[in-house]
Structure 1
Amino acid sequence: MHKQLLLAGCFFSSILFPLQANAQDFDQLYVFGDSLSDTGNFYNASGGTFPPSPPYSQGRFSNDRIWTEYLAADLGATPTNFAFGGATTGSNNTIPIPGSVATLPGLQQEIARFQATNPTSNPDALYVIWAGANDYLGGGITDPSVPVNNLSGAITTLAESGAENFLVVNLPDLGKIPGTNDSPQASSLSTLTNLHNLGLDTSLNALSSNYDINIYDLDVSSLFADAIAQPAKYGFTNVTDACLSDTGICSNPDEYLFWDELHPTNAGHKIIGEVAVSRLQAEPVPEPGAGLGILAFGGVGAMALLKRRYQKTVK
């Protein structure tokens, strides 16, 4: 995140296609992913034992509301959350429930659970997908094409059942979070993150040529890199350490980017939510061929969302 490995042309300057649907048009919000988006599914499955509350907030892997809650509130959309802490992009989950042999879901099972009650997907809903960190941090994956293909498959499955609008989130530098930034694996995790994000970008381009879908690509990688490079811009005083540690809880969590070794604070989540809304509500920019444009978002000051909305027509 301090020195995020990015392909500049891919993330910081992109052709943005005109939007046909405004963010306020989404009547429902369906969320898939891991602990970065889980609002209590793992907590409920564990019988209310993990993550422990307190210090965690009512089943969230943070100290208060997380980004999907801010997103749903700002959109005025009814949220349904299938995200599970520990979920990989495949069928595995990396967090066991103490004293239980229960098999918890990965992203693929989350999609299957959704389809069990929604055989036809609502075309007016927004489908949020953010997963991949657990593949590299606990799932033993060293080939980024595996998670990228899993994410592509999840989008394809939903698109083929009628889903039309997707918000797909890339990964922050996994070598720069508190749990890894001093470890021997930090450099390799940074490289894997970079390859994952580049592969995801390529995959979304491929999907856009085959389906009549709108994919809003949320560049959290650049957002976190910018927050670490310029913490004061976001109201942070500490962007490298965890607020929650073995010695206790920091006295100023709103000034920390990270709550624990892996997850953002409520303050960090709020910024992600605000940036996500800004991405969805972006004004149309020049048509393709008029040059590359950089979109500046006020308030959060995030260059992170210089991403295109992919839209094609089924042949």
Structure 2
Amino acid sequence: MSKMKRNIIVSIMVIAMVIGRSSASSLVTFIFGDSLTEVGNNNYLQLSLAKSNFPHYGIDFDGGKATGRFTNGRTIGDIISAKLRIPSPPPYLSLSPTDDAILKGVNYASGGAGILNETGLYFIERLSFDDQIKNFEKTKESIKAKIGDEAANKLCNEAVYFIGIGSNDYVNNFLQPFLADGQQYAHDEFVELMISTLGEQLARLYEVGARKMVFHGLGPLGCIPSQRAKSRRGQCLTQVNLWVQQFNSKVQKLIENLNAHLPSSHLTFADTYQAVLDLIDNPTKYGFKVSNTSCCVVDTKLGGLCLPNSKLCSNRSDYVFWDAFHPSDAANAVLAERFFSTVFSQSPSPAPLPSH
């Protein structure tokens, strides 16, 4: 067994033990990422063009109204929280520094966010990964003010950090021909820039107190509807998927290196690429009928989001994708289950599937 695999297995065991020991009242989770896990931060950014606070988003969420989630129902983060038997952490920008909710966990994710600060620039406002880490630093100071330095350090050391970011660095940066990075860098150079930046960012989280971090690898971005639309026959873009696999491989090596050099760190890479690809290639195996286009009829030339005047499919649970970028609630339920089976040897019972 390679040293890398041993480190990942040890990290998985430690995080699983933390979850196994924790009750619903004690487990704290902090979530970082992009629109795949956002729960409403961008609603508080007045100028942001990366928002989903309009119908038909949220149609299958509690209350049937849009919340800022980029899907028709729950995000993977919501479902993971349910599986951990804890409330889904609220958006950071919805909380005041004195809010007791910060002691239970916070969601910093922001639609359009990337590892690189220039990613998603045309959305005007969004919280990059650097911004999210700065906000976590502010949260740590607020926690210290509430319960003291020693207790705050203990809380942050024992919390579990879920991080899923990097998709926008491709979809809303490198793959956009009118943006500088796609013209300035060859892919080998671009991925090295992302990895070096990500390494610095994870080290910063460690310095603030993060020890148990789970980094969610990228899925087959070449197969999402917005990328298929670039193919004459609506097929997956092989080159994009190869680039994503290269990124994932380098992140795994980065995590091995960080675990070796950061004392008491337990970083885990959740590689769900093949699981997501299998869901797309074999949708009927998971109870879906359509995986090559979205339930909401979108215009990929105008952003690919589900606009209020868009037409919806007749059965939302038949579709893997909700819009041109994001999985449906039903697909998120499947992916969350696969995520847990990948990361944890003994996961809590699955969250109930949505009723449509």
TM-score calculated relative to the size of structure 2: 0.69
Q: Which residue of 2 is the match for residue 275 of structure 1? A: 338
Q: Secondary structure at the match of 2:193?
A: helix
Once the 2 structures are TM-superposed, how far is the Cα of residue 275 of structure 1 from its aligned partner? 2.7
- Taking the aligned partners of 2:344 and 2:276, their CA distance within structure 1 comes to 21
- Asked whether the equivalents of residues 222 and 240 of structure 2 are also in contact (C-alpha less than 8 Å), the reply is yes
Q: Which residue of 1 is the match for residue 28 of structure 2? A: 28
Give the letter aligned to residue 108 of structure 1: D
Give the letter aligned to residue 23 of structure 1: I
Once the 2 structures are TM-superposed, how far is the Cα of residue 69 of structure 1 from its aligned partner? 0.9
When residues 103 and 280 of structure 1 are mapped into structure 2, their CA distance, relative to the original with a 3 A threshold, is same
Gaps of 5+ in 1: 1-8, 285-296, 301-315
Q: Which residue of 2 is the match for residue 51 of structure 1? A: 52
Answer 1 or 2: higher relative contact order, Cα 8 Å, separation at least 6.
1
- Taking the aligned partners of 1:12 and 1:238, their CA distance within structure 2 comes to 35
- Asked whether the equivalents of residues 296 and 323 of structure 2 are also in contact (C-alpha less than 8 Å), the reply is yes
Once the 2 structures are TM-superposed, how far is the Cα of residue 76 of structure 1 from its aligned partner? 3.0
Q: Which residue of 1 is the match for residue 322 of structure 2? A: 259
- Taking the aligned partners of 1:230 and 1:298, their CA distance within structure 2 comes to 25
Q: Which residue of 2 is the match for residue 19 of structure 1? A: 13
Q: Secondary structure at the match of 1:215?
A: strand
- Taking the aligned partners of 2:8 and 2:78, their CA distance within structure 1 comes to 29
- Taking the aligned partners of 1:187 and 1:67, their CA distance within structure 2 comes to 26
**Where do residues 160-309 of structure 1 align in structure 2 (5 Å cutoff)?**
160-183=207-230, 186-211=237-262, 212-246=264-298, 248-283=311-346
- Asked whether the equivalents of residues 19 and 27 of structure 2 are also in contact (C-alpha less than 8 Å), the reply is no
**Where do residues 79-90 of structure 1 align in structure 2 (5 Å cutoff)?**
79-90=105-116
- Taking the aligned partners of 1:40 and 1:187, their CA distance within structure 2 comes to 33
Once the 2 structures are TM-superposed, how far is the Cα of residue 197 of structure 1 from its aligned partner? 0.8
When residues 192 and 272 of structure 1 are mapped into structure 2, their CA distance, relative to the original with a 3 A threshold, is same
Q: Secondary structure at the match of 2:214?
A: strand
- Asked whether the equivalents of residues 120 and 173 of structure 2 are also in contact (C-alpha less than 8 Å), the reply is yes
**Where do residues 35-114 of structure 1 align in structure 2 (5 Å cutoff)?**
35-46=35-46, 50-57=51-58, 58-77=67-86, 78-94=104-120, 96=122, 103-114=125-136
Q: Secondary structure at the match of 1:249?
A: coil
Once the 2 structures are TM-superposed, how far is the Cα of residue 45 of structure 1 from its aligned partner? 1.9
Give the letter aligned to residue 123 of structure 1: N
Q: Which residue of 1 is the match for residue 301 of structure 2? A: none
- Taking the aligned partners of 1:254 and 1:13, their CA distance within structure 2 comes to 39
When residues 206 and 14 of structure 1 are mapped into structure 2, their CA distance, relative to the original with a 3 A threshold, is closer
Give the letter aligned to residue 19 of structure 2: A
Give the letter aligned to residue 71 of structure 1: I
- Taking the aligned partners of 2:8 and 2:258, their CA distance within structure 1 comes to 17
- Asked whether the equivalents of residues 29 and 80 of structure 1 are also in contact (C-alpha less than 8 Å), the reply is yes
| Bigger share in helix | 2
> How big is the alpha-carbon RMSD for the aligned residues of Structure 1 and Structure 2?
3.1
Matched, 1:147 2:210: no
- Taking the aligned partners of 1:147 and 1:42, their CA distance within structure 2 comes to 23
Once the 2 structures are TM-superposed, how far is the Cα of residue 138 of structure 1 from its aligned partner? 1.4
- Asked whether the equivalents of residues 48 and 125 of structure 2 are also in contact (C-alpha less than 8 Å), the reply is no
- Taking the aligned partners of 2:349 and 2:137, their CA distance within structure 1 comes to 38
The structure with more radius of gyration: 2
- Asked whether the equivalents of residues 86 and 93 of structure 1 are also in contact (C-alpha less than 8 Å), the reply is yes
Residue correspondences, number: 275
Matched, 1:158 2:218: no
Once the 2 structures are TM-superposed, how far is the Cα of residue 44 of structure 1 from its aligned partner? 3.0
TM-score calculated relative to the size of structure 1: 0.77
Deviations 1:210-250 (A, max 9, x none): 12222232222111111123212221111111111146111
Once the 2 structures are TM-superposed, how far is the Cα of residue 132 of structure 1 from its aligned partner? 0.6
- Taking the aligned partners of 1:115 and 1:15, their CA distance within structure 2 comes to 26
Q: Which residue of 1 is the match for residue 139 of structure 2? A: 117
Gaps of 5+ in 2: 59-66, 87-103, 142-152, 175-180, 182-186, 299-309, 352-356
Once the 2 structures are TM-superposed, how far is the Cα of residue 280 of structure 1 from its aligned partner? 4.5
